[in-house]
Amino acid sequence: MADEFTVRKAVRADCKDIWEMFLQSQAMLDVTPEQVKFSKEALQRDGFDCSPPLFHCFVAEFRGVAIGYALYSYQYSAYEGGLEMRVSNLFVKEVYRCKGVGKLLFEALIEKAKQQKTVGIEWMVLNWNRTAIKFYENFGAQDLTITEKVHAFRISLSE
């Protein structure tokens, strides 16, 4: 079964599947579709209809059906002195978890980051998501809250 999983660059036709999986990821956090600020239209516009795209995405498939995705972009790191990858969301449908799909998606992100000669990859994980934290630690990731004594902050400018 594991050899039937594939990861590829997302295309505009994947928007419906990515959007549905994004809503599933939010539902796991008890966020209702009405509470989501991101929209399917923004997904299409910002990732597939503008040049350059504001984000990029990989899709994981099983027998041609989308079962996961990883959405990412790039930003400059003054701390590291170079371009870094910023992962916004990595999601695998529940039935396909612990089967290597997340690993394939994350390996695709690492490979892309290396191809782009980035200085690293950053992302956030909810503090209660021990499974995800352990998953990333298995790749050698460091929890910056502990190692660098930093906290992530945000000012929301959307309505």
134, 140 Cβ separation under 8 angstroms: no
Paired tokens of 6: 């594939």
Catalytic site residue from 74, 76, 79, 136: 136
Q: What strands, in cross-sheet order, belong to the sheet with 65-77?
A: 5-9, 56-62, 65-77, 82-92, 121-122
Specify whether 136 is catalytic. yes
| Positive or negative: CA dihedral 4, 9, 12, 16 | positive
Give the integer Cα–Cα distance in Å for 70 and 106.
Answer: 8
Measured between alpha carbons, how far is 142 from 69 in angstroms, rounded to an integer?
22
Chain centre to alpha carbon of residue 39: 16
Q: Indicate which residues carry an active-site annotation.
A: 136
